[in-house]
Structure 1
């Protein structure tokens, strides 16, 4: 997990917090019902979603969680496919600081980043 500084300073590791890994289908309704937020249909706009998402909500939506280590490393254990990944900057199960569509490959590295423009994650 990296932080990107908009002023031109070098990228830096972000440790702590976690990721909620949810089946992409939940963005067609269930995610918005659970969080009480107005639905956003454009995945490009999910990067700034800021809403409460508990670990129980993640389980109810058929997802899993992944902790981010202090050095910014994380591991997502899930079958290959389409997901939405939401980022807890602070306490896991608290308020998320953005979500992003992810096409999870069978194997390989992922890169996740957060800045003032929101959260994003993709295969490297």
Structure 2
């Protein structure tokens, strides 16, 4: 049961980070297929892989294991008013960000491998 929850967390966080399975598999030095088995909960995941995934996602191991998507949707956020544009907004959504250099390195590596 816990394995399915962690697998779901991994997939959700990866999708929220807008990362491909291929990218995460490469970072873990795994095949795409092997990584897919982790996301589907078909294999037990080692603590070293959990630690590496937390690093890839830029979160703590605890956040990965006990991820709560509602944390990223802050319904109590106040409206923000930009005086210059005169626009009020209240997205109330905290987004997960990926360092652009890491993703760019992956894309360059993929291009070199395909040439």
TM-score > 0.5 by shorter chain: no
Normalised TM-score (structure 1) = 0.29
Q: Which has the higher contact order (CA 8 A, sep 6+)?
A: 1
Larger radius of gyration: 2
| Higher strand fraction (1 or 2) | 1
| Higher helix fraction (1 or 2) | 2
